[in-house]
Amino acid sequence: MSALRPVRPAPAATRPSTEVGTGPTVPGLLFRAVLFGVTVAFATLTAHSLLSSLAGSVVVGLALAAAVTRFPRPPVPHAIAFAGGAALLGASAAFDPVVFVLLPLVHLMLRASWWAARVPRTGAVERSVLVLDLRRAAAVQVACQGLALVAFAASRLEGDGFLTVVAALALCALAVLVVPRTWWR
């Protein structure tokens, strides 16, 4: 049986050094700035469908943007997206072409809130990581815009708006399917 002897660490001069580098990064504060700006635009456009005053719509947009920037975790961004959709459905039964602009805005709001909730203000994310997220977002937007185009065409053909509601529900189902499962934890 051999005796165990303590191992002495090597002097600091002989230890190997390690350097870590990253590629170009995006600061965490930028996610909050994008989240604030996109939420102002989304909430203002949807509030304007119910309010006749543009100033009132902007005030609503600024208030909701401040709330979601302060609390970027669910359910706040999802509640704003839901309220915007409900405002559009409540405004009229006809398909409003502003939906083609609102779809990328609400998607960007949800993705920016996801990143803002996970990246500290002083932190950063490599651009290469964001490129992967943008590719996925582009694929989702192609599908959403396609469904919106079907709803727009259906609203022009059918007078009662039934197909528009069905297309809106399909769009909601698609949105639920593409939300990452990490949101629910």
Please write the tens of the pLDDT for every residue from 16-60. Answer: 777 777 889 999 999 999 999 999 999 999 998 888 899 999 999
Indicate whether 172 belongs to any domain.
Answer: yes
- Say if 17 falls within a structural domain: no
Whether 2 is covered by a domain: the verdict is no
Residue 143 is assigned to a structural domain of this protein? yes
Residue type for position 151: A
Q: Over the Cα atoms of the chain, what is R_g?
A: 23
5, part of any domain: no
* Main-chain phi, psi angles of 97, to 5 degrees: -60, -10
pLDDT in tens, 54-91: 999 999 999 999 999 999 998 999 999 999 888 887 77
In a domain, 3, yes or no: no
> Residue 125 falls within a domain, yes or no?
yes
**42 lies in which domain range?**
26-184
Residue 94 lies in a domain: yes
What beta strand segments (E) does 62-130 contain? 124-126
pTM above the 0.85 mark?
Answer: no
Q: How many residues does the chain have?
A: 185
